[in-house]
Amino acid sequence: MYGKNLRKVIDMAKGKKEKQKKTKQSTQQTTQQSTQETNQQQSQQQCNQSQK
């Protein structure tokens, strides 16, 4: 009986950690994407300026 409850608690804790991991990953991905976009915009601007 006690073992089952313990397993439940551990599973719940694991589930929470997994969720946190997933949200962390998605936040990192969006940050990376926006950084890449900014870099692309900057390099495009530089190209345009040098062409002028």
Q: Take residue 32 and report the two structure tokens written for it.
A: 């990376």
What's the pLDDT score for residue 1?
A: 55
The pLDDT tens digits for 22-46 are 888 888 888 888 888 888 888 888 8
Query: Would you place residue 16 in the very low, low, confident or very high pLDDT band (cuts 50, 70, 90)?
Result: confident
Q: Which two tokens stand for residue 9?
A: 């608690």
Expressed in percent and rounded to 5, the helix, strand and coil fractions of the chain are: 95, 0, 5
Amino acid (1-letter code) at residue 11? D
Q: Which amino acid is at 48?
A: N
How far apart CA 10 and CA 20 sit, in angstroms, is 15
Is 80 exceeded by the pLDDT of residue 2? no
Residue 36 amino acid letter:
Q
Of 6-10, 20-24, 46-50, least confident by mean pLDDT is 46-50
